Amino acid sequence: MSTDYLLLSLDNPVFQAYVLTASIMTLKLMLQPWMTVQRMMKVRAGYRSPEDAKRSPLNPEPRPGQLEPNEYVERSRRINLNDLESIPGFLVAGFLLVLVDPPVLLAQVLLWGFVVTRALHFIAYLTAQLHDVRATLWTLNSLSVIVTAGYVLAQAL
């Protein structure tokens, strides 16, 4: 029987955990810019392109300073950059993990551990908790991907 058939089927609990966590994390990755847009629209500031300061339906009353960094908007951009540094690596490492057929519990802990620590990191970042809180959650989150990629590497050697 083809092993791949089992590996990439939703009947495989590791693959199912991957599809769930990967689609949730892809949604997170894609929705963060919507928060940035919502914040830009709310304060009508934090734009980046010169043309965004022109009068238009989205910007009915242009004023000076709209192109300068705005901390309320920048916070969402920093969260987005942090997602970009973390989520694509998770998505690939998690898929490779499925293909090397790991113990189910190990895979579930690594995959869901990433989702939970990323959610907590997001809350800590959004609410401007102390650096130490955010850094601790980031470390746990990053370690889950590093352990995943390290496990895959060890299996392939």
Angstrom distance (rounded) from CA 72 to CA 94: 33
Number of residues that bind its own copies (CB under 8 A): 66
- Minimum CB–partner distance for residue 39 and its own copies (Å): 14
Q: Which positions from 7 through 26 interact with its own copies, judged by CB under 8 A?
A: 7-10, 16, 19-20, 22-24, 26
Q: Which is nearer to its own copies, 58 or 105 (CB)?
A: 58
Angstrom distance (rounded) from CA 97 to CA 99: 5
Specify the stretch interacting with its own copies by CB under 8 A; choose among 105-113, 114-122, 147-155: 147-155
Angstrom distance (rounded) from CA 156 to CA 49: 46
Q: What does the DSSP assignment read for 72-124?
A: HHHHHHHHHHHHHHHHHHHHHHHHHHHHT---HHHHHHHHHHHHHHHHHHHHH
Angstrom distance (rounded) from CA 154 to CA 113: 20
Q: Which is nearer to its own copies, 109 or 143 (CB)?
A: 143
Q: Which is nearer to its own copies, 123 or 146 (CB)?
A: 146
Convert residues 38-77 into a mask of x (bound to its own copies by CB under 8 A) and - (unbound).
---------xxxxxx-x-xxxx-----------x---x--
Convert residues 85-124 into a mask of x (bound to its own copies by CB under 8 A) and - (unbound).
xx-xx-xxx--x--xx------------------------
Tokens found for residue 81? 């950059």
Q: Which is nearer to its own copies, 96 or 109 (CB)?
A: 96
Nearest to 151 by CA among 84, 91, 98, 88: 98
